[in-house]
A = this chain, B = another copy of it.
Amino acid sequence: MKTNFDLILRKNIKKLKSYSTEKVDCKVKLDANENPFDFPMQLKEIILKDLFKHLFNRYPDPDASLLKELLAEEIKVDEDKITLGNGSDELIQSLTLAFGSKSSLVFYPSFSMYRIISTVCNIKTRVISLDKKFDIDIDTTLRYIKKNQPSLIFIGYPNNPTGNSFSKDKIVNIIQSSSGLIVMDEAYSEFSNKSFLPLINKYDNLVILRTFSKAYGLAGCRIGYMIGSEKVVEQVNKVKLPFNLNSISQRIGIIALKHKKKCNKAIKIIISERARLLRKMQKISAIYTFPTEANFILFRPKVSSKTVFKKLLSNGILIRDVADNKLLKNCLRVTVGKPSENDAFLHVIEKLK
């Protein structure tokens, strides 16, 4: 019998455009909001000694118990309120699979995976545009919530790719007005020093996502974690794949936490480089630079963003083209790199007319 792909493919998948990444050879990689510093050599040595004794042939601990225990201590939250994922992406997916009974609400512009995962999990997504300052349009948002009570609301904090953190008051208002879950994606919160963690015991519909990818410089290892009420964690644990976090990443996460101070050195450098980069960029009249609290900067050149993107690439520098037709028209996003990488970027940008 001939296979009828049109018949067996879910309708929501047919038109789906998946998350795309650039695969370009470059000397200076400032496109993916990665930490520019590799994991410290000294800690790598500890990891490799550890892995030598590690049993590769055994399945990972499905609960990542030891890593969770250390995390709980670190962020001062009960273990029962934490679960780990193969990156935050997987936790977004598990949350959506468990709680996607009604619609999800996402803002635009924001991290595209919230919407993509909602589509993949076959739940309706409502997109509400941010205002001109890239803050939440609270009236439209509350009106939608009141009428539809979405199951899930995804909020980047700070938001990607805009870089800003939305007003805390507005978010609290949203949490208080919703019977669904408010998922605060705090992937970049180590660079903003702002978090909703102090409110985690106050609201049982507040969920926080964190990651080892950015501040810890472990994007390759895919370690994300979620903090939420026991009820939410219980359901996500039911839905998540049993051996989702491989045993080697679990070991690496444990070592990163045990040597947190060494890891955190990179954060300070990135924050100071961000200030320097911002200062210099704001002096360039050929671009408009948006404020940021993350490890990346959004800017809009006066000439075509495509031209600027290509000019940078011809100099071996890869950034991210986030331009589209609406609020991000002609916009580009650059990740804060090492001092020398930022210099290389500035060198090209400063010549723009």
- Listed in ascending order, the chain A residues whose CB lies under 8 Å from chain B are 1-5, 7-11, 13, 16-19, 21, 23, 29, 32, 34-39, 44, 47-48, 51-52, 54-62, 86-87, 89-90, 93, 97-102, 113, 120-122, 149, 151-152, 176-181, 204-205, 213, 217-222, 231-232, 235, 237-239, 241-244, 246-249, 252
Q: How far is the CA of A8 from the CA of B242 in the complex (A)?
A: 23
Interface contact B3-A180, CB-CB below 8 Å: yes
Write out the residue numbers on chain B whose beta carbons fall within 8 Å of the beta carbon of A246. Answer: 86, 220-222, 246, 248-249
Tell me what chain A mostly uses at the interface: helix, strand, loop, or mixed: loop
Interface contact B56-A99, CB-CB below 8 Å: no
Q: How far is the CA of A1 from the CA of B218 in the complex (A)?
A: 38
Query: What is the count of identical protomers in the complex?
Result: 2
Write out the residue numbers on chain B whose beta carbons fall within 8 Å of the beta carbon of A151. Answer: 8
In the complex, how many angstroms separate the beta carbon of A49 from the nearest chain B beta carbon? 9
Interface contact A242-B89, CB-CB below 8 Å: yes
Write out the residue numbers on chain B whose beta carbons fall within 8 Å of the beta carbon of A122. Answer: 97, 122
Residue of B nearest to A149 (CB): B7
Interface contact A21-B242, CB-CB below 8 Å: yes
Residue of B nearest to A89 (CB): B241
Known contacts A21-B62, A241-B90; A3 and B57 CB within 8 A of each other? no
Interface contact B239-A120, CB-CB below 8 Å: yes
Interface contact B56-A44, CB-CB below 8 Å: yes
Interface contact B180-A8, CB-CB below 8 Å: yes
Contact of A101 among B11, B61, B213 (CB under 8 A): B11
Interface contact B120-A8, CB-CB below 8 Å: no
Q: How far is the CA of A9 from the CA of B121 in the complex (A)?
A: 14
Interface contact B52-A48, CB-CB below 8 Å: yes
Q: How far is the CA of A23 from the CA of B204 in the complex (A)?
A: 29
Listed by A's residue number, 7 A-B pairs whose Cβ atoms lie within 8 Å are A13-B239, A16-B239, A17-B238, A21-B62, A44-B52, A58-B219, A220-B246
Closest 6 CB pairs of A and B: A220-B247, A39-B56, A57-B217, A3-B205, A8-B151, A222-B246
Contact of A221 among B10, B204, B244, B248 (CB under 8 A): B248
Write out the residue numbers on chain B whose beta carbons fall within 8 Å of the beta carbon of A149. Answer: 7
In the complex, how many angstroms separate the beta carbon of A171 from the nearest chain B beta carbon? 15
Interface contact B8-A59, CB-CB below 8 Å: no
Q: How far is the CA of A93 from the CA of B17 in the complex (A)?
A: 18
Q: How far is the CA of A10 from the CA of B123 in the complex (A)?
A: 11
Write out the residue numbers on chain B whose beta carbons fall within 8 Å of the beta carbon of A221. Answer: 56, 246-248
Contact of A86 among B101, B204, B241 (CB under 8 A): B241
Write out the residue numbers on chain B whose beta carbons fall within 8 Å of the beta carbon of A120. Answer: 97, 239
Write out the residue numbers on chain B whose beta carbons fall within 8 Å of the beta carbon of A87. Answer: 241, 243
Interface contact A10-B222, CB-CB below 8 Å: no
Residue of B nearest to A205 (CB): B3
Write out the residue numbers on chain B whose beta carbons fall within 8 Å of the beta carbon of A18. Answer: 237-239, 242
In the complex, how many angstroms separate the beta carbon of A318 from the nearest chain B beta carbon? 12
Interface contact B238-A220, CB-CB below 8 Å: no
